Structure 1
Amino acid sequence: MFSLRKPTREIINNYLEEQSKKPFSYAETGALQTGYPKGYVHVNRSVLLGKGEQTFLKGKEAITHWKMNDLGWVYPSPESSFPIEVGQVFATQTWSLGLWLLNPGKILYVIDESDEQQARYGFGFGTLPGHPMSGEECFLVTWDKQTDEVQYSLRSFSFPKHLLSFLGYPYVFLMQKRFGRDSLRKMQEYCRSLEKK
């Protein structure tokens, strides 16, 4: 959904209600759990958040509050209070080139597991028809208990779905790179800011 004005909460809620009744906009739902399907642009980025259980818990908290999507030009919409659960429909707002975009998705799976080797928390979502791209994305925090390192990773596969996204794909590609870079930095900053408290 494209708009010249920032969408109101009422518009967003109505839009999400409408999108919740629609199927995913691509066929390979859940594919990111096992690999990358052909025919899409693949992204795999990660960053070290720090070490230890407390850092892992901070990273988990950041994902729970959608901090990886709160970047100053991308925002959780209408607020960062969507529960992280399978089937949850949500949207992010993007401000770009004088337009507001609402990017709807639905959570496909939640990862919340721990054993002697590692602990992981995050989720993956698929795009809905109103999203300018088609594909899947996963946000994940992993604590390697052997090295004590905590990593945040961002993985996705996508392809332009909307005509404007297709025609302007070089710009869209740059925005995807910017999102990845800013998301990793935001997660680092969030964890480090909590360490100082």
Structure 2
Amino acid sequence: MSTLTYPEVGATRLGPLPDGYHHLHHRTRIGHGRADFEAAGAAITEFRMHRRSGAHVEASAPRAEAGTSVRVALGVGPLRFTAPCRVIWAEYGPGRIGFAYGTLTRHPECGEECFVAELAEDGTVSFRVMAFSRPLRWYARLAGPLVPPVQLWYARRLGRTLRRIVAEQRAERERPGR
């Protein structure tokens, strides 16, 4: 079994994020109400959000739970990189559903990233990505200043994808005859 590549395991659960890493904080409004929240949470924890965003995901379980092995591959052909991770924590609460995974030995970076749906008191459903990372492999170090904008681009892409998934499920729920 591969080992985690960083000591601050679990820091994305509530923060603060550790020093010495690039930090990513991104929030996207996804929808409104309990049904949208539950749809968002399921899409996140069943890895559908990642898959619909264009990532190839292999997971050792159908749903995120602590200890689940996850391999995320992005790109095509020789420009495809694979990121082996392990789910560090998963939360299935009344106002927060999501998980975080941490990097394993063959990952190009080291750190942790969480993906969470949150239901506010006013019914607003938000998607939050919080991460800390730094380069581990030579090619990640070579990419240097390009990595943070690419990570933000991907977080935004995940948010747009999740918003579409939730809207599709809302339309299905509201379709006449249902």
Same fold flag (TM > 0.5): yes
Q: Tell me, yes or no, if structure 1 residue 101 matches structure 2 residue 81.
A: yes
Which deviates more from structure 2 when the two are superposed, residues 172-181 or residues 33-42? 172-181
Quote the residue 1:186 is aligned against: 161
Q: Give the match for residue 83 of structure 1.
A: 63
CA RMSD of aligned residues (A): 1.8
CA separation in 1, counterparts of 2:82 and 2:106?
Answer: 8
Aligned ranges for residues 52-71 of structure 1 at < 5 Å? 52-71=33-52
- State the shift of 1:139 in Å: 0.6
Task: Say if 2:112 and 2:131, in contact at 8 Å, map to a contact too.
Answer: yes
Give the corresponding residue for 1:7.
Answer: none
Contact 2:30 2:126 in 1 (8 A): yes
Are the equivalent residues in 2 in contact too, given 1:122–1:140 (CA < 8 A)? Answer: yes
> Within 2, Cα distance between the matches of 1:80 and 1:72?
20
Unaligned runs of 5+ in 1: 1-20
Give the secondary-structure state (helix, strand or coil) at the position aligned to 2:148.
helix
1:141/1:150 contact within 8 Å kept:
yes
1:130 is matched with which residue: 95, 102, 106? Answer: 106
Letter in 1 for 2:114: C
The one-letter amino acid of 2:101's match is F
Distance 1:157 1:129, change over 3 A: same
Residue 43 (structure 1) aligned with residue 24 (structure 2)? yes
Deviation of 1:72 after TM superposition, in Å, equals 4.9
1:111 to partner: Cα distance: 1.0
2:150 corresponding residue in structure 1: 175
Alignment identity in percent? 25
Question: If the length of structure 1 is used for normalisation, what is the TM-score?
Answer: 0.80
Q: Which amino acid aligns with 1:184?
A: G
Gaps of 5+ in 2: 173-178
